[in-house]
Amino acid sequence: MHTTWEYMTARFDLKNGVFSGPVIDQADVHTRLNQLGAEGWELVSVTPIKQSGGHGTACLFATLKRPKTGH
């Protein structure tokens, strides 16, 4: 028997830093990923999405998977 997966993405928007450009709030990311992990989701990848014009990162997309139940 093989495993069937379901997938989801979670978006993490960058916030403007006081003295730097946009930054990611690592505590927010850790909290959200731990919540998703408790629901059975496993992090597969993280993809930075560029700002328009290609300068800097606008947000991060996390791709997660978990075994599909009831298939």
Domain ranges of the chain: 5-67
From CA 40, how far away is CA 6, in angstroms rounded? 11
Q: What is the mean pLDDT of residues 30-57?
A: 88
Q: What is the mean pLDDT of residues 29-44?
A: 96
From CA 3, how far away is CA 22, in angstroms rounded? 39
From CA 27, how far away is CA 39, in angstroms rounded? 19
Tens digits of residue pLDDT in 37-50: 999 999 999 998 87
Quote the tokens at residue 15: 């916030």
Q: Could you tell me which residues come within 8 angstroms of residue 34 by beta carbon, excluding any fewer than 6 positions away?
A: none
Residue 13's pLDDT is 85
Residue 58's pLDDT is 76
Q: Are 60 and 49 in contact (CB under 8 A)?
A: yes
Quote the tokens at residue 10: 């979670």
Confidence band (pLDDT; 50, 70, 90) for 17?
low
Percent of the chain with pLDDT over 90: 48
This prediction's pTM: 0.77
